[in-house]
Amino acid sequence: MGIFGGQGDPERSMALLWAAPGAGDTRVAPGPRPGLSVDAIVEAAIAVADAGPVEGLSMRAVAERLGRSSMALYTYVPGKGELLDLMYDRVHAELPTRYDPDGGWRAAVTAWAGDLRAFYLRHPWVLQVSYARPVLGPNEQAVLEALTGILYETGLPARTLRSVVSALFHFVRGMAQTIAESRLAATATGVSDREWWVSRAGMLEKVAPDFAERFPMSVRLGRETADQYDDGAEGTSYLERGAEETFGTGLAVLLEGIEATRRNTSPGGSPEPGGAPWSPEGRAP
């Protein structure tokens, strides 16, 4: 999903993204002194986006926070899309650029994933930015660089490594998104996760009394994992505690997969991990 970044004059976008942080101080041009700066606008926009749902991020809202009219922003930034690209890369500077390799790649990947997860939860709007045509700013590149460096330790061939990088990103993004949206929904509607699920379960019973026969496996899974978080502890919500376990376990499974693939590969045999081959045609109509 994704909201798309700017499309107007990519050269200008890239220049803005990669501009040295404190550049362009000396002023010689005529005209009134600039009261704003690209940096200030990006910062304000991040604050607005962090404060609520993505839809709240409007040019008007950002300008208001800076005491200007929305049109004043267009002096500094080509449009909303480009602003989003700048915000996107800027916040990525929060993430570590290096992980200690001494503890082994598993520990490093685990730390990387945890940091990224926490980062997405701090800035959920980042998850709205499309990653098909990446922003290609320096800070996101650094995050990718860190993970790539860690994974080269595994000795996996480059093509497999690329796949693993993708899988890890998608996993962390997906998990974080679930939690972020859940939080958002809770504050937006005033209904907690638990209340929501309880009420929904009740409705399901009414509207689909044959649920247990139609979906036996789902019911079984629900039964066997239920009641674990019913202790009513404070702090994180019902769903979030479950999500944390899901994250940890899922990540562990992925790491096991990397380890196993590594073992299969390193003898110098086929560069492909084992398992059934996959071909792109779906079987559905």
CB of 65 to a copy of itself, least distance (A): 22
Check binding of 2 to DNA (CB under 7 A). Answer: no
Nearest approach, Cβ of residue 82 and a copy of itself (Å): 14
CA 51 to each of CA 30, 91, 99: distance values in angstroms, whole numbers, following the listed order: 37, 14, 30
Q: Is 235 in the site for DNA (CB under 7 A)?
A: no
| The token pair that represents 205 in the structure block | 């019973």
Binding residue (CB under 7 A) for DNA from 38, 42, 63, 108: 63
Quick one: 24 or 285, whose CB is closer to a copy of itself?
A: 285
- Verify binding: residue 57, DNA, rule CB under 7 A: yes
Of residues 63 through 102, those in contact with a copy of itself by CB under 8 A are 94-96
How far apart (Å, rounded) are the C-alpha atoms in residues 241 and 28?
57
Name which of residues 136 to 175 contact a copy of itself (CB under 8 A): 136, 138, 141-142, 144-145, 148-149, 152, 157-164, 166-167, 169-171, 173-175
| 160 binds, options DNA, a copy of itself, none, Cβ within 5 to 8 A by partner type | a copy of itself
Count of residues touching DNA (by CB under 7 A): 28
Q: Applying CB under 7 A, which residues contact DNA?
A: 27-36, 57-61, 63, 67-72, 74-76, 79-81
